[in-house]
């Protein structure tokens, strides 16, 4: 038998990716900044007349809770961009943990809870009401799941659940785009399908936006996660076996 010797296997150093090697980071932050610059300022005046959502009559709680929902949602959107930025996560782990706590406790959770109230009292009709309630409940559920995974130190599962939470936090942006497209597409049917009612057309377009946007983003997110799963599994196996000694024939050992 050929004698063998134990030679430790060392993992090759990982090269940190700079921001420009993640070309989606800059557009993502730009879109989030533009959306917030357009959506948030009217609510900073605390003037119900400038609200982009029609408050229900006789409900004095709706507008202040809507303002709080918008502000918490803005915090969630800003911190979420840093959470999904791989370079920031790798280079600043403490910053990642801090922004993660802010995202959960000062962003997604309060915004999601308030979203249940706002969604229930929407003036957009039953379809928009159900979509808002389902979307808020899902946002809360996946965020809590991601938080639990982090506390159990199951960081792979944590990233997957928080990726879904991020998708739902950004669905409001896509819903506005889908709403505009749906309005343009449906306008020729104003006098037929909607019997000349602009309000019915508006509610139908909003319903398409709030249903389709989170569904599309969740599907895309899970598709990306499934594509990355084999790579992540191989990396975990490499990390686990990195220091395991391997048998090398003695004739191949370096002399010296």
User: What pLDDT sits at residue 52?
Assistant: 84
What does the pLDDT read at residue 249? Answer: 47
- pLDDT surpassing 70 at residue 19: no
The predicted pLDDT at position 240 comes to 52
Beta bridge partners of 247: 6
pLDDT at res. 247? 46
- Which pLDDT band, with edges at 50, 70 and 90, does 22 fall under? low
Residue 136: the pLDDT is 97
- pLDDT 10s digits, 158-201: 999 999 999 999 999 999 999 999 999 999 999 999 999 999 99
Given pLDDT bands bounded at 50, 70 and 90, which one contains residue 235? low
Q: How confident is the model at residue 53 (pLDDT cuts 50, 70, 90)?
A: confident
């Amino acid at each position: 038998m050929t004698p063998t010797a134990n030679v430790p296997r060392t993992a090759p150093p990982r090269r940190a990716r700079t921001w420009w090697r993640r070309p989606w980071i800059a557009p993502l932050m730009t879109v989030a900044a533009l959306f917030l610059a357009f959506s948030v300022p009217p609510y900073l005046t605390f003037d119900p007349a400038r609200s982009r959502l029609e408050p229900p009559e006789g409900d004095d709680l709706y507008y202040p809770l809507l303002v709080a929902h918008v502000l918490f949602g803005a915090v969630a959107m800003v911190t979420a961009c840093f959470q999904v930025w791989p370079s920031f996560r790798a280079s600043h782990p403490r910053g990642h943990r801090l922004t993660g706590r802010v995202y959960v406790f000062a962003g997604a959770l309060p915004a999601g809870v308030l979203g249940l109230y706002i969604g229930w009292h929407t003036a957009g009709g039953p379809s928009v009401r159900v979509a808002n309630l389902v979307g808020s409940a899902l946002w809360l559920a996946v965020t809590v799941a991601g938080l639990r995974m982090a506390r159990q130190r199951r960081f792979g599962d944590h990233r997957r659940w928080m990726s879904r939470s991020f998708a739902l936090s950004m669905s409001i942006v896509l819903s506005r785009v889908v709403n505009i497209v749906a309005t343009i597409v449906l306008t020729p049917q104003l006098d037929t399908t909607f019997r000349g009612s602009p309000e019915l057309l508006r509610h139908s377009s909003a319903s398409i936006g709030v249903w389709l946007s989170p569904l599309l983003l969740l599907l895309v997110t899970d598709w990306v996660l499934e594509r990355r799963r084999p790579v992540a599994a191989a990396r975990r196996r490499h990390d686990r076996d990195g220091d395991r000694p391997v048998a090398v024939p003695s004739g191949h050992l370096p002399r010296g």
